[in-house]
């Protein structure tokens, strides 16, 4: 049976619900869950002060309902189970999660999947800045798992990413893969500028119709049809991520860089208008 948390009224200041995850609620009764503490600004309050609680937590299936754009840390540090957000959500969705899956039927704010260590995140709408990124001062961002965003995203997608997969169906801002250590980021829409700056390893596939300008520290290598791209695209299709069929047979322009960091990273772009 599903455990449902329904927002009763929009908060005047942000709510922080870190720790309210399917794996931590599995053995609790509804009454116990209602008494759990969350933060309303800098004050601790009971979960039931803002959410109606119903259902059963034993199956590790949790649904959030309402306009949750002012509710932060949904699914943070989640280890297992399934979570669904029926609406928009705030910052830090799935931050540091290690397993399970989170599905968002709306938009999310910044830091989606920040420092994620496993699991599956799928956002049907748009995301903010720093998807899969490292928090300021941290040595690495996401290390495992996958993040799918059907819509647009902001700046610094995959900042200091170490491993895993990020796929964005729409447009993104600047600095995709900034200081990237490894992993894969795929963007189907248009991009901003300065992608791969400080990149050490990993793959950026920037597949919009208008390839972004390359930094001077990246060098053109060749035009190619890598088998790994077909494998990756088919995997995304199986995950319910909308991907144009023509990309399966497309040619890509390959660039190596950042040469200031050893040049072992790679950027693939559409060759439709390049060269």
Of 211, 215, 191, 193, whose CA–CA distance to 253 is shortest?
A: 211
Whether 223 maps to a domain, the answer reads yes
Whether 89 maps to a domain, the answer reads no
Per-residue confidence (pLDDT) for residue 69, from 0 to 100: 96
Whether 114 maps to a domain, the answer reads yes
Peptide bond into 267 cis (omega under 30): no
Q: How confident is the model at residue 271 (pLDDT cuts 50, 70, 90)?
A: confident
Residue with tokens 């830091």: 111
Whether 66 maps to a domain, the answer reads no
Query: Is residue 232 predicted with pLDDT exceeding 60?
Result: yes
In Å, how far from its chain's centre is CA 197? Answer: 20
Of 165, 176, 263, whose CA–CA distance to 221 is shortest?
A: 263
User: What's the predicted TM-score (pTM) here?
Assistant: 0.95
Whether 67 maps to a domain, the answer reads no
Query: Is residue 186 predicted with pLDDT exceeding 70?
Result: yes
Residue ranges making up the domain that contains 228? 110-270
Residue with tokens 């928009």: 88
Whether 94 maps to a domain, the answer reads no
Query: Is residue 272 predicted with pLDDT exceeding 80?
Result: no
d(C-alpha 270, C-alpha 275), whole Å: 10
Whether 8 maps to a domain, the answer reads no
pLDDT tens readout for residues 21-58: 999 999 999 999 999 999 999 999 999 999 999 999 99
**Averaged confidence pLDDT in the chain:** 95
Query: Is residue 274 predicted with pLDDT exceeding 70?
Result: no
d(C-alpha 242, C-alpha 257), whole Å: 29
Query: Is residue 253 predicted with pLDDT exceeding 60?
Result: yes
Q: Which long-range contacts (CB under 8 A, 24 or more apart) does 83-90 make?
A: 83/21, 83/22, 88/125, 89/64, 90/14
Per-residue confidence (pLDDT) for residue 122, from 0 to 100: 98
Per-residue confidence (pLDDT) for residue 10, from 0 to 100: 86
Both tokens of 48, joined, read: 């039931």
**What φ, ψ does residue 247 adopt, rounded to 5°?**
-70, -20
- With a CB cutoff of 8 Å and minimum separation 6, the contacts of 30 are 53, 54, 55, 56, 57
Count of structural domains within the chain: 1
d(C-alpha 74, C-alpha 229), whole Å: 32
pLDDT tens readout for residues 63-75: 999 999 999 999 9
Task: For the chain, give the percent of residues with pLDDT over 90.
Answer: 95
pLDDT tens readout for residues 110-131: 999 999 999 999 999 999 999 9
Whether 54 maps to a domain, the answer reads no
Query: Is residue 275 predicted with pLDDT exceeding 70?
Result: no
């Amino acid at each position: 049976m599903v455990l449902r948390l329904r927002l009763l009224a929009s908060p005047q200041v942000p709510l922080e619900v870190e720790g309210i995850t399917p794996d931590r609620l599995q053995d609790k009764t509804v009454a116990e869950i209602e008494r759990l503490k969350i933060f309303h600004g800098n004050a601790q309050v009971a979960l039931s002060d803002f959410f109606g609680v119903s259902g059963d937590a034993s199956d590790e299936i949790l649904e959030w309902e309402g306009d949750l754009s002012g509710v932060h840390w949904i699914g943070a540090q989640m280890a297992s189970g399934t979570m669904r957000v029926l609406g928009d959500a705030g910052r830090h969705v799935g931050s540091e999660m290690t397993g399970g899956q989170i599905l968002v039927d709306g938009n999310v704010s910044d830091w989606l999947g920040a420092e994620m260590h496993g699991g599956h995140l799928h956002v049907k709408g748009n995301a903010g800045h720093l998807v899969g990124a490292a928090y300021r001062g941290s040595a690495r961002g996401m290390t495992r798992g996958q993040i799918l965003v059907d819509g647009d995203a902001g700046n610094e997608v995959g900042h200091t990413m170490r491993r895993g997969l990020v796929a964005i169906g729409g447009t993104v801002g600047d600095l995709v893969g900034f200081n990237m250590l490894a992993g894969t980021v795929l963007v189907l829409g248009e991009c901003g500028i300065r992608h791969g700056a400080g990149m050490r390893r990993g793959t950026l596939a920037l597949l919009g119709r208008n390839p972004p300008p390359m930094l001077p520290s990246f060098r053109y290598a060749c035009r190619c049809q890598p088998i790994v791209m077909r494998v990756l695209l088919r995997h995304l299709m199986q995950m319910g991520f909308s991907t144009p069929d023509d990309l399966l047979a497309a040619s890509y322009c390959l660039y190596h860089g950042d040469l200031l960091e050893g040049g072992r990273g790679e950027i693939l772009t559409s060759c439709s208008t390049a060269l």
